[in-house]
């Protein structure tokens, strides 16, 4: 889908030839003398339409309006969340087969954040997954003009960021939505390679793929232990982007890439196990961020690390009670093979040390406990430094991709003690998201570190089943806050 930012007054919007015209009307709307303003004013006066957030009115073949379908959408105070929520509710108007070209016009001058919210809402509301159908489905909507009454550089910059963010979010959705047999570790590695393929060396992107032999040579015994039960060979994906100075320390993103999780020998119950294809949501988000980076090419340095494998229960699978040696040299007693995400992440966190990073952020669909704690609204965020935590929370707020800081008190690590190894991979049920974070914390002592538990936010279940693309927005916004350009 192609987005284009245009200067469109209501008078010019009325003359715009598109299939569907959506007009966003806030509480501060002041009617002009054009046909569209007059229509809005009459609809408000007749109480058929209200500017309150989420209220809408549809009209067809309206005199003086070139678009055959017109949708008025109230946005209240035009705060970003109000714009996004209101516009999301109106997206059914763009899903019809006839809507190939649309315009979304603000009846006034939006803030950059409100403009950003509108782009996200249109993309989210019209997204279509179609890869594995007999006849692949595609989004009918091909062109969207986003209109503002007056243009400035801040709007242009934010629009460009929002469009690039959408591309990253949809790349993450695509790979998270694919069934596990269409998104194996090897396929995930090829997806990473596709991001840098064809780009000139001057762009600063590289992709290295490590297989079982290379991973074994590195001493990643914890990662290897998870992959032992699968016929699919593991892959360790290393993405690099150098847009800043060589002397600048990179930010490292580490994404959990369990392309399917049966639970291993500690096998999961059958209901909803199909959703375990989403267990590589962390990996998908790293791929999505790099997709956005290829578009924006900001002046920053970023490393993406993705340990990718399946967690399967065959005769070679790791068993409860087994002790493995991580890349760091620490030994781990595996009490539950369904706590496998932390076992692959810990070796990637050790590997991250070689880049001398200014910060490392891991992203993982890690614990059901985080879903219980925060639901599907906010991702759980753990951080070793207040400055890093505040930056992530601020980025999430700006990108409409929220997180919430959780504690990292040392006392939570007490339940991870083992009689047979340096650490156990699980503690008790109480505070499960926190004890999982404390396990990872052991392997992230040499740099500022944050952990995002996205088990509640990476996908939706039920009738709306599908990946959300989170937290691509949060991560990209955080990285761009360090852009030197």
b/e burial code for range 170-209 (CB count within 10 A of at least 16 → b): bbbbbbbbbebeebbbbbbbebbeebbeeeeeeebbebeb
**356 class by beta-carbon count within 10 Å (0-12 exposed, 13-18 middle, 19+ buried):** exposed
Token pair 């009490």 in the structure block, residue? 335
Has 55 been annotated as catalytic? no
Structure tokens given for 82: 């109000």
Helix locations, 20-152, DSSP H: 35-45, 80-89, 112-126
- Which entry of 268, 299, 319, 405 is annotated as an active-site residue? 268
**Cis peptide upstream of residue 471 (ω within 30 degrees of 0):** yes
CA 108 – CA 28 distance, rounded (Å): 8
Ramachandran category for residue 51: left, alpha or beta (phi over 0 → left; psi -120 to 50 → alpha): alpha
Has 268 been annotated as catalytic? yes
- Which entry of 158, 228, 235, 342 is annotated as an active-site residue? 342
Contact 220, 345 (CB under 8 A): no
Helix/strand/coil for 21: strand
Longest Cα–Cα distance of the chain, Å, equals: 80
**266 class by beta-carbon count within 10 Å (0-12 exposed, 13-18 middle, 19+ buried):** buried
Nearest Cα residue to 293 out of 362, 192, 400: 192
**374 class by beta-carbon count within 10 Å (0-12 exposed, 13-18 middle, 19+ buried):** buried
Q: Which residues are catalytic?
A: 268, 342
């Amino acid at each position: 889908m192609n987005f284009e930012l245009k200067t469109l007054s209501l008078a010019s919007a009325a003359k715009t030839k598109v299939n569907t015209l959506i007009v966003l009307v806030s509480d501060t709307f002041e009617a002009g003398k054009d046909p569209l303003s007059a229509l809005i004013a009459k609809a408000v006066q007749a109480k058929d339409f209200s500017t309150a957030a989420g209220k809408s009115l549809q009209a067809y073949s309206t005199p003086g309006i070139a678009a055959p379908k017109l949708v008025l959408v109230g946005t209240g105070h035009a705060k970003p969340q109000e714009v996004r929520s209101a516009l999301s509710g109106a997206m059914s108007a763009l899903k019809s087969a006839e809507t190939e070209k649309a315009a979304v016009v603000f009846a006034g001058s939006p803030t950059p954040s409100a403009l950003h919210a509108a782009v996200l809402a249109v993309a989210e509301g019209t997204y279509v997954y179609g890869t594995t159908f007999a006849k692949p489905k595609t989004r009918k909507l091909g062109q969207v003009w986003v209109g503002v009454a007056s243009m400035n550089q801040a709007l242009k910059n934010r629009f460009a960021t929002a469009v690039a963010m959408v591309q990253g979010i949809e790349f993450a959705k695509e790979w998270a939505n694919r069934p596990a047999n269409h998104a194996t570790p090897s396929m995930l590695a090829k997806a990473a390679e596709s991001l840098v393929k064809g780009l000139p060396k001057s762009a600063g992107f590289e992709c290295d793929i490590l297989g079982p032999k290379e991973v074994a040579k590195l001493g990643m015994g914890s990662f290897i232990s998870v992959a032992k039960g699968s016929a699919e060979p593991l892959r360790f994906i290393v993405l690099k982007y150098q847009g800043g100075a060589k002397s600048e320390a990179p930010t490292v993103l580490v994404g959990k890439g369990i392309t399917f999780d049966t639970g291993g020998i500690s096998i999961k119950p059958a209901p909803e196990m199909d959703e375990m294809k989403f267990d590589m949501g962390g990996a998908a988000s790293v791929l999505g961020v790099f997709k956005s980076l290829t578009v924006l090419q900001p002046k920053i340095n970023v490393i993406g690390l993705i340990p990718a494998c399946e967690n399967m229960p065959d005769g070679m699978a790791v068993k409860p009670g087994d002790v493995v040696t991580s890349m760091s040299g620490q030994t781990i007693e595996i009490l539950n093979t369904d706590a496998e995400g932390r076992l692959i992440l810990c070796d990637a966190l050790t590997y991250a040390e070689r880049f001398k990073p200014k910060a490392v952020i891991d992203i993982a669909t890690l614990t059901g406990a985080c879903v219980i704690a925060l639901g599907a609204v906010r991702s759980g965020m753990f951080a070793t430094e207040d400055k890093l935590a505040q930056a992530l929370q601020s980025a999430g707020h700006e990108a409409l991709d929220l997180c919430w800081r959780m504690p990292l008190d040392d006392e939570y690590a007490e339940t991870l003690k083992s009689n047979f190894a340096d650490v156990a991979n699980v503690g008790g049920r109480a505070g499960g998201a926190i004890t999982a974070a404390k396990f990872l914390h052991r392997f992230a002592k040499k740099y500022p570190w944050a952990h995002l538990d996205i088990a509640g936010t990476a996908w939706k279940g039920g009738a709306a089943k599908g990946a959300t693309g989170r937290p691509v927005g949060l991560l990209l916004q955080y990285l761009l806050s360090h852009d030197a350009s």
